[in-house]
């Protein structure tokens, strides 16, 4: 499973398309790993629409998205966000992983199959 680790901030859906293009055309990646530090605070407030816009670009371009880092404070602050994380981790396009170890387990295991 080929992954690409984003190195630039993804503030909106236009930035997401740039990262997807880099991952696909330069690295032949199937998944993009984005550290939480590279996402704006609005991403974690579902009502803002930022997360939906970014994630939709990944789905549209058939590129998996892994959000890497601790989102527990956001989950504690929002039931909707917590539910979204849980549902996303059951799906096929988006994963939230708390740390490098969890990423290695999924990447070495079955990241694309909903593990």
pLDDT tens sequence across 4-41: 999 999 999 999 999 999 999 999 999 999 999 999 99
Cβ(31)–Cβ(63) under 8 Å?
Answer: yes
Domain ranges of the chain: 3-110
- Side by side, the strands of the sheet bearing 94-97 are 3-5, 31-35, 64-68, 94-97
In contact, 79 and 72? CB cutoff 8 Å: no
CA–CA dist 104, 102 (Å, integer): 5
Instruction: Please tell me the pTM assigned to this model.
Output: 0.91
At 107 the pLDDT is 72
Residue-averaged pLDDT of the chain: 92
Distance, in Å, from the CA atom of 108 to the CA atom of 106, rounded to the nearest integer, reads: 5
At 112 the pLDDT is: 42
pLDDT at 110 over 50: no
Q: Give residue 109's pLDDT band: very low, low, confident or very high (50, 70, 90).
A: low
Region for residue 28 given its phi and psi (left: phi exceeds 0; alpha: psi -120 to 50; beta: otherwise): left
CA gap 90, 86 in Å, rounded: 7
């Amino acid at each position: 499973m080929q992954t690409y680790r984003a190195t630039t901030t993804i503030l909106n859906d236009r930035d997401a398309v740039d990262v997807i293009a880099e991952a696909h055309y330069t690295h032949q990646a199937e998944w993009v790993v984005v550290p939480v530090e590279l996402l704006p605070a609005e991403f974690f407030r579902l009502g803002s629409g930022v997360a939906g816009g970014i994630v939709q670009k990944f789905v549209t371009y058939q590129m998996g998205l892994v959000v890497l880092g601790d989102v527990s404070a956001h989950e504690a602050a929002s039931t909707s966000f917590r539910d979204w994380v849980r549902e996303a981790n059951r799906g096929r396009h988006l994963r939230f992983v708390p740390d490098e170890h969890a990423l290695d387990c999924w990447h070495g295991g079955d990241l694309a199959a909903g593990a």
